[in-house]
Structure 1
Amino acid sequence: MTLERTWLDVSYGEKDAAKAAGARWDGTARRWYAPPGKEAALQEWAPAPDVPDLLPGEDRTLGQGLFVDLVPSSCWFTNVRSCVTPRDWERLRRMITRRAGMRCEACGAVENRAEKRWLEAHERWTFDEQRLTQKLVRLICLCTDCHTVTHFGFAQVRGLGEEALAHLMRVTGMSRRLATEHVDAAFEVWQMRSRRSYALDLSILTEAGVTVVPPPSAQDRGRVAEETLRKQGPPSLRRPQQHA
């Protein structure tokens, strides 16, 4: 008979402290728990209520499949994870992967540590050009490879442009010509949006009981993006070359 686990909310940065206090890892559930008799010692990590599988106002039909989805440069490196506490991020991550059946929602891949393929959360946004608002409308579970395609510009910064293009073609069935045309169109939209500054609307999180740290201003987000890119090396936002 399987014993009922006393689950914990342990962020990645807290795992060593929780383990030292007696927490144990369940590899199947991919979650920390308190062994019998250790509940009091691990009370610090007692879980908050689960985030609902459908966030208030979330549109899970938006942005199906795999495509290049470039956010404006002023919003680089400012994402949901940077705007919530590590423990709330753990609650969100757990909900996102669970409702996706522990598979990538774009290609169906499962996590594979040997291949360094993880399941990651990606944001889908809508843009109100009149109010200059960038609104979070969906959170989606993507594998590392699909997530790299989605952030194609950052993939190029890291020297992964060709790998990302190959994965895009493999998953979608696009020819190289169609794939490069798709990337071209995504960059044109990105260039247009990057000329403007958008306020972030994260209300689907706050209405689900997730505490949001106010994101930096658009000016500060640009500075954060520039500093992070400098650490990554010189940016190379070149479009891939078409081949016959």
Structure 2
Amino acid sequence: MDVPEILPGEDRSLGSDLFVDLVPATCWFTHVRSCVSPADWRRLRQMITERAGQRCEACGAGPDPAQHRRLEAHERWMFDDDAGVQRLKRLICLCSDCHAVTHYGLAQIRGHGEQALEHLMRVTGMTRQEALAHVRRAFEIWEERSERVWDLDLSILTDAGVTLAPPPAAAARPGIAAQTLHDKRASRG
């Protein structure tokens, strides 16, 4: 089955620019890739990169193996504070450099925080001070959102006929996240 170019209910105007977009700790391990089969993930990723013309939707870059830059799929979420729902609203094509910016906390853990900050400034035209303020605000939002458990709404995928595997239970996610981070840090020495 083909995936439609525009998913039912997808907001293609949401989040085309580059910004730090941290996923609350209580939502870790609820990304699309963990909820779909490898075959469906390949189909979704292919649709996303093709509809973007094989270009990053934030900076316009294409894949460049010499620069270790690939095109990746990224989820844009809306958070309904009243209902406690994390709703997938868009899938966007980002180059690996822009993707590192959106997951700035992960970039820092991997030792690439400064490169991500430089890329954010280059793409957006922010000064260093503006970029650092933007990052601080993103972490403030992350802290607020990480204080609660969110229900996951992936209806733009199920309405397109994509079969989902259930994500880890909300109560189990913080423990899984902590263990995964611990294991990654331990594997580095």
TM-score (norm 1): 0.74
Among 40, 46, 61, which residue is 1:109 paired with? 61
Q: 1:227 aligns with which of 166, 179, 189?
A: 179
> 1:180 & 1:194 partners in 2: Cα distance?
21
SS of residue matched to 1:233 = helix
Q: Secondary structure at the match of 1:103?
A: coil
Aligned length: 186
**Map of 1:59-70 to 2, 5 A cutoff?**
59-70=11-22
The structure with the largest helix share of the pair is: 2
Of the two structures, which has the highest relative contact order with CA contacts closer than 8 Å and spacing of 6 or more?
2
Deviation at 1:77, TM superposition (A): 3.5
1:92 aligns with 44
Matched, 1:57 2:9: yes
CA distance in 2, matches of 1:105, 1:142: 6
Tell me if structure 1 keeps the 8 A contact 2:23–2:142. Answer: yes
1:160 and 2:112 are equivalent in the alignment: yes
Residue identity in the other structure for 2:50: R
Residue 83 of structure 1: aligned partner: 35
Q: Deviations over 1:101-142 (max 9, x none)?
A: 000000011111121111000000011111111000000000
What do the CA deviations read for 1:70-107 (whole angstroms, capped 9, x no partner)?
A: 11011223310000000000110110000000000000
Kindly indicate whether the alpha-carbon contact (under 8 Å) linking 1:119 and 1:144 is maintained by their aligned counterparts in 2. Answer: yes
Identity within the alignment, %: 63
Q: Which residue of 2 aligns with 1:129?
A: 81
Give 1 or 2 for the bigger CA radius of gyration. Answer: 1
Deviation of 1:218 after TM superposition, in Å, equals 1.2
- SS of the aligned residue for 2:75 comes to strand
Please give the alpha-carbon distance, in whole angstroms, between the structure 1 residues aligned to 2:174 and 2:164: 20
Match of 2:25 in 1: 73
Q: Deviation string for 1:20-75 (max 9, x for gaps)?
A: xxxxxxxxxxxxxxxxxxxxxxxxxxxxx210000000001011210000110112
How many angstroms does 1:171 deviate by?
A: 0.6
Counterpart contact for 2:27–2:173, Cα < 8 Å = yes
CA contact (8 A) 2:121 2:127 kept: yes
Q: How does 1:1-244 map to 2 (within 5 A)?
A: 49-233=1-185
